[in-house]
């Protein structure tokens, strides 16, 4: 393991003005997205959609530092025979790969899951490295139960530890393979919980994560953290302001994340496009932290482009224009330079 090489990749992944495009949707997930635009999810359509994104300029060169791919995509060629990995590299972005096998029910912990995929991971990482991947992603899912549900309340400490232990083992295997691990402990935002509960659970999860990373011998200089922001559940009647979201998120990170970590790339977690941009921007406007704060968005970067594309070749330019806009807005937010006026101006 060359820690300097890993560190250099991690730093490039969080370069100011740039962020990570999460294009690692499973076949099932992208099928649901295509359903929303009444487009059949075929091998060719998935290729066309992702090729269109990866060819979009100036977004890919100016505002995308890396792209998380799915197993199908890292092996796929564009319509002209160019590999999609080469397309990404030609714009100066770094190819990455999702390596987990998804969240499965955790035995003895009703309502909780643990992410699987450690078996055979060493061999898969070696293959992905040969295919061009220089970073990887593993997502742990942490769900907060309804505030009134005192029996079987989640998450439990055991559930959190099971997920952060897996993240630690995954991260160590990545670094052994010369691949930067994105570690993603996602506290889901879909519930009824208030912002205090999200704050508490996020802090507990991150403390557990960094204990596991230390115990597994992971070098923090060569990782990127992908956490949720501290928000209230979408079904909560009391929603915090952008200022409170930013202040609470920064506080949790300062209380849990060592300064050795080069950068933090937030997931959007189901936030609306402008909401994800606005909250990232507010944190960077506040400042005063040792790491770079940027984005690792999927839907919040792609959704407007997807709706513009509608699965039709004649909408190619409109879709690229929509992707260019969202990438530029998030690039500005990663430097604390975004404004609502800029976003509305298109």
- Where in the sequence numbering do the catalytic residues fall? 184, 226
286, 247 contact by CB (below 8 A): yes
Alpha helix segments (H runs only) across 36-109: 43-54, 59-62, 71-74, 84-90
How far is Cα 60 from Cα 29, in angstroms, rounded to an integer?
23
| Cα 245 from Cα 239, distance rounded (Å) | 9
Determine the Cα–Cα distance for residues 106 and 163; give it in Å rounded to an integer: 10
List the end-to-end C-alpha distance of the chain, in Å, as a whole number. 44
d(CA 174, CA 111): 29
Residue of 324, 332, 323 lying closest to 277 (CA atoms): 332
- Strand, coil or helix: 69: strand
CA 14/CA 35 separation, integer angstroms: 33
How many other C-beta atoms can be found within 10 angstroms of the C-beta atom of residue 123?
10
Question: How is residue 300 written in tokens?
Answer: 């919040």
Q: What is the DSSP letter of 337?
A: -
Dig out the tokens for 114 from the structure: 């643990």
Distance of alpha carbon 54 from the chain centroid: 17
Could you give the CA distance from residue 299 to residue 301 in angstroms, rounded to a whole number?
5
């Amino acid at each position: 393991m060359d820690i300097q090489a890993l560190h250099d990749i991690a730093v490039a992944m969080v370069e100011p003005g740039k962020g990570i495009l999460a294009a690692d949707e499973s076949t099932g997930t992208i099928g649901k997205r295509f359903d929303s635009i009444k487009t059949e999810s075929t091998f060719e359509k998935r290729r066309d959609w992702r090729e269109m994104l990866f060819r979009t300029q100036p977004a890919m060169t100016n505002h995308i530092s890396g792209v998380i791919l799915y197993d199908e995509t890292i092996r796929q060629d564009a319509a002209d025979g160019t590999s999609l990995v080469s397309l990404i590299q030609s714009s100066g972005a770094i190819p990455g790969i999702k390596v987990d096998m998804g969240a499965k029910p955790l035995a003895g912990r009703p309502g909780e899951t643990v992410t699987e995929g450690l078996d055979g991971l060493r061999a898969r990482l070696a293959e992905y490295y040969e295919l061009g991947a220089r970073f990887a992603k593993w997502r742990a899912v942490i769900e907060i139960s309804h505030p009134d549900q005192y029996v079987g309340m989640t998450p439990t400490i055991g559930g959190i530890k099971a997920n952060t232990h897996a993240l630690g083992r995954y991260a160590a295997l990545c670094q052994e393979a010369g691949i930067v691990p994105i570690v993603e402990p996602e506290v889901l935002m879909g519930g009824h919980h208030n912002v205090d509960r999200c704050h508490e659970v996020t802090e507990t999860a991150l403390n557990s994560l960094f204990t596991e990373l230390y115990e597994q011998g992971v070098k923090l200089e060569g990782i990127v953290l992908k956490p949720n922001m501290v928000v209230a559940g979408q079904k909560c009647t009391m929603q915090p302001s952008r200022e409170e979201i930013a202040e609470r998120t920064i506080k949790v990170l300062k209380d849990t994340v060592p300064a050795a970590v080069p950068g933090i790339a937030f997931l959007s977690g189901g936030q609306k496009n402008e909401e994800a941009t606005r909250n990232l921007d507010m944190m960077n406007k506040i400042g005063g932290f040792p790491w770079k704060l940027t984005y690792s968005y999927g839907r919040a970067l792609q959704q407007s482009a997807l709706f513009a594309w509608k699965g039709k070749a004649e909408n190619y330019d409109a879709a690229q224009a929509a992707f260019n806009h969202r990438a530029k807005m998030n690039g500005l937010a990663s430097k604390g330079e975004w404004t609502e006026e800029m976003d509305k101006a298109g």
